[in-house]
Amino acid sequence: MEQICQSCSMPMSLEVFGTEQTGEKTNEYCKYCYENGTFTQPDTTMEEMIEICVPHMTGEGMPEQQARSILKEVLPALSRWKGDPLFVKLPTQVFNGDIE
Ligand SMILES: [Zn+2]
């Protein structure tokens, strides 16, 4: 299966893997989303991410409507946005305890 970024769903090859704080590459996120162990744009919401991704997909000849519906389906399943029903950015660490 193709490795995709768990933030923007971009298909990744080794050259675009993001980096951890240690400088090691991670196959979880791409370098555009994740660098030195942190998200490059930590305040981006999932909806904003869709807006960022759509032009890249239409640029490859995909109709905008189709790109949008694919992203709306794919992004919520990715690690960065999982457990995020309001489509609001929340760091994953928030979910390590009880939510009252
Ligand atoms: Zn990415």
Rounded to the nearest 10 degrees, how much is the dihedral formed by the CA atoms of 9, 15, 20, 23? -170
Separation of CA 96 and ligand 1 centre (Å): 23
From 88, 87, 67, 92, select the one nearest 9 (Cα to Cα). Answer: 67
Residue linked to tokens 């904003």: 48
pLDDT of residue 64: 97
Give ion ligand 1 contacts, CB < 5 A: 5, 7-8, 30, 33
Distance 11 CA to ligand 1 centre (A): 9
Q: How far is the CA of 9 from the centre of ligand 1 (A)?
A: 6
Selected residue with higher pLDDT from 14 and 95: 14
The yes-or-no verdict on residue 92 having pLDDT over 70 is no
Lowest mean pLDDT among 11-15, 18-22, 77-81, 94-98: 94-98
Residue 41 carries which DSSP code? Answer: S
Provide the pLDDT confidence category of residue 87 given band limits of 50, 70 and 90. very low
SS3 readout for 77-100: HCCCCCCCCCCCCCCHHHHHCCCC
Say which residue, 98 or 34, is predicted with more confidence.
34
Q: What pTM, to 2 d.p., does this model score?
A: 0.77
Q: What's the pLDDT at 82?
A: 87
Tell how far the Cα of 40 is from the centroid of ligand 1, in angstroms.
Answer: 10
| 76 pLDDT above the threshold of 50 | yes
Q: What does the pLDDT read at residue 90?
A: 46
Q: Give the start-to-end residue ranges of the domains of the chain.
A: 14-89
